Amino acid sequence: MARNLRTSPQKTCRNILPSRSARFSEALASASGSQYLRVNRLMTALNPEGSVHGIRTVLRLLCCCAVLTCTWRETQASLILTSGLGTTHAGNLVINGSFEIGAPPDGLGNAYYWANPAAAPYVVPPGWTSTGPHSTALWGNDGPSPYRLRLSDVLPDGRAALDFHTSTGATVSQPPTFHPNGSVTFPATPIFTTPAGSPVTLRQTVHTELTPAPSYNLSFWVSGEENSTVQGNTGVGIIGLIVTNVLPPSPAPGSAAGQVQWLAVPNGLSYGLSHLYEYTFTPVNPLQPVNIEFISWGGMNLSAYGMSPFGTQPILDDVIVNAVPEPTSFGLLGLGSMLMLRRRPFGCFPEP
């Protein structure tokens, strides 16, 4: 018959739960009184007698909670357009998200071509990969502060940004609907064509798996060419966002695996001079990274749908991904596990 741990804790606890290192006791001692009290009461309720069977049951319950938590996260995998997240440069998981590392000297004449290997000087921003063999996409600024690029709105961070300039006259097979939050939808899968033959793309693998979290916040700033002067881009542009490992694959040609989120590029007349896009996302597989890709087919000609034939082209800056900290409830599970490794059985130690 199993001996009651409450009546003889010293002998039985040493046999069943060997002494652990001091760090568990230190972690327990550092917990707030309210957390300690809640976990103590929970463990006492689950195992009021402190029996061997009870301890095993609690261990099984904690394991089940961990499995259910992982399953819940997987079913909650998502990519949601939102606002007001307050992303910060501190803790940014994106490498060179403001394109300052390796940036060229001030002035449009010093700018680098970052997407077309045949153009010179050709330099891809460190941390990123790109395509756009027939583009004239530039990396840099127009000149002294306040910094702009191709007459965009003032850059939000640093002195450099990326321009996605390629051919004008790009078309799309489906009529776009531009929504107030900046999202662009189509009645069916859109097929884009451009005189350049292929889009301009920018891509980075973001290692979210190295900073585990239940969710992540993504933000990036978008403006348009000539927005500060509105010299002729009377239509908004369209830029695509692809985030892998959060949604099923996309059928869109020329894109990486992942659903394309189509977004409006402000032109100074619609959506202001610039717009901050913000998303929250949860990976499908938290043990794998996510890939972030931006895609532009050029200046859009939407005259077939009664819109402007002169769509502006995107300027991108300040790409940020922040991990969202674990809620307190998940921390309590870990605290409960540490409590179980103490020498004294649950229900035997005094409440603070």
Pick the CATH number of 78-324 from 3.40.50.10800, 3.40.50.300, 2.60.120.260, 3.90.1410.10: 2.60.120.260
Can you tell me the distance from the alpha carbon of 30 to that of 24, in angstroms, rounded to the nearest whole number?
10
Confidence class for position 350, pLDDT limits 50, 70, 90: very low
Q: Domains of the chain: which residue ranges?
A: 9-75+328-340, 78-324
Can you tell me the distance from the alpha carbon of 115 to that of 107, in angstroms, rounded to the nearest whole number?
19
Contact criterion met (CB below 8 Å) for 220 and 239: no
Confidence class for position 233, pLDDT limits 50, 70, 90: confident
Can you tell me the distance from the alpha carbon of 208 to that of 219, in angstroms, rounded to the nearest whole number?
15
To the nearest 5 percent, what fractions of the chain are helix, strand and coil? 20, 25, 55
26 versus 104: the higher-pLDDT residue is 104
Q: What is the pLDDT of residues 212-230, one digit of tens each?
A: 999 999 999 999 999 999 7
Q: What is the pLDDT of residues 93-137, one digit of tens each?
A: 999 999 999 999 999 999 999 999 999 999 999 999 999 999 999
Contact criterion met (CB below 8 Å) for 172 and 190: yes
Q: What is the pLDDT of residue 78?
A: 87
Q: What is the pLDDT of residue 56?
A: 57
Q: What is the pLDDT of residue 266?
A: 97
Picking from 129, 146, 136, 145, the residue whose alpha carbon sits closest to that of residue 111 is 136
Confidence class for position 344, pLDDT limits 50, 70, 90: very low
Q: What percent of the chain has pLDDT over 90?
A: 65
Can you tell me the distance from the alpha carbon of 248 to that of 245, in angstroms, rounded to the nearest whole number?
8
Q: Please state, rounded to an integer, the average pLDDT across all residues of the chain.
A: 81
Contact criterion met (CB below 8 Å) for 115 and 131: yes
Q: What is the pLDDT of residue 232?
A: 79
Q: Is the pLDDT of residue 300 over 70?
A: yes
143 versus 70: the higher-pLDDT residue is 143
**8-state DSSP, 172:** E
Contact criterion met (CB below 8 Å) for 200 and 183: no
Q: Is the pLDDT of residue 255 over 60?
A: no
